[in-house]
Amino acid sequence: EVQLVESGGGLIQPGGSLRLSCVVSGLTVRNNYMTWVRQAPGKGLEWVSALYIGDVAFYAESVKGRFTISRHKFENTVYLQMSSLTAEDTAMYYCARLDSAGPGAFDTWGQGTMVTVSS
Amino acid sequence: SYVLTQPPSVSVAPGQTARITCGGNTLGSKSVHWYQQKPGQAPVPVVYYDSDRPSGIPERFSGSKSGNTATLTISRVEAGDEADFYCQVWDSSSILSWVFGGGTRLTVL
């Protein structure tokens, strides 16, 4: 069974930095397309970043230059390094896997970790 | 950037059929995926690639597409189907991105 478990969220001041982790079991991160999707309180889903096989990264315009997606070289973990955070980054952050057939669909999701940006 | 349009809400009585639409420019040339999200839970995929159902999803959930409009149909709606539903596409036309619709709240009367 594939499981994605996020951690690292919390309360952070505007302008601060935070690193989210997604520990994956049941599949090998380096052989899969991994992503982060966020959801602001009471709002819809927003794709944030994707890491392709071969470590090619893609970002939404709203986070480009501030967020970095990566994977641990030896452990089955995906990271999202977030910097220059603003109130607009307040959201539940989900780690999700993209289906290998596409990769167009998010076929496996974690339960999310909450990030609150506030002074 | 690419935009997907969904109705904010759909209401249906138990046992009836709910139809949730998703529209977008050139949607006919893209694959549409659908997710169900219940309060406090992560999204769950219910339809892939326009009309494929993931393992474990009841046959009551089906997807279709005509022109630039995709439709998620839920037959014999149950109280437990009440949730937010999102359509989603992969947009590779300019900047590679994954786009979600604004979401539709399904209310079971």
Residue A101's pLDDT is 78
B89–A104 C-beta distance less than 8 A = yes
Pick the residue from chain A with its C-alpha nearest to B55: A107
- Which residue of A58, A99, A112 is in closest CB contact with B42? A112
| pLDDT tens digits for range B43-99 | 999 999 999 999 999 999 999 999 999 999 999 999 999 999 999 999 887 777 899
Average pLDDT over residues A81-92: 98
Average pLDDT over residues A61-85: 95
Tell me how far apart the alpha carbons of residues A47 and B36 are, in angstroms, rounded to a whole number: 16
Residue B12's pLDDT is 98
- Which residue of A61, A102, A109 is in closest CB contact with B42? A109
Write the CA distances from A40 to A47, A93, B10, B55, B80, integer angstroms: 12, 9, 22, 29, 24
Pick the residue from chain B with its C-alpha nearest to A110: B42
| pLDDT tens digits for range B24-50 | 999 999 999 999 999 999 999 999 999
Residue A74's pLDDT is 86
Structural contact between residues B97 and B91, judged by C-beta atoms closer than 8 angstroms = yes
Residue A33's pLDDT is 93
Residue B1 pLDDT grade (very low, low, confident, very high; cuts 50, 70, 90): confident
Q: What is the mean pLDDT of chain A?
A: 95
**pLDDT surpassing 80 at residue A103:** no
**pLDDT surpassing 90 at residue A75:** no
| pLDDT tens digits for range A20-29 | 999 999 999 9
Residue B92's pLDDT is 84
- Which residue of B43, B49, B84 is in closest CB contact with A109? B43
**pLDDT surpassing 80 at residue A76:** yes
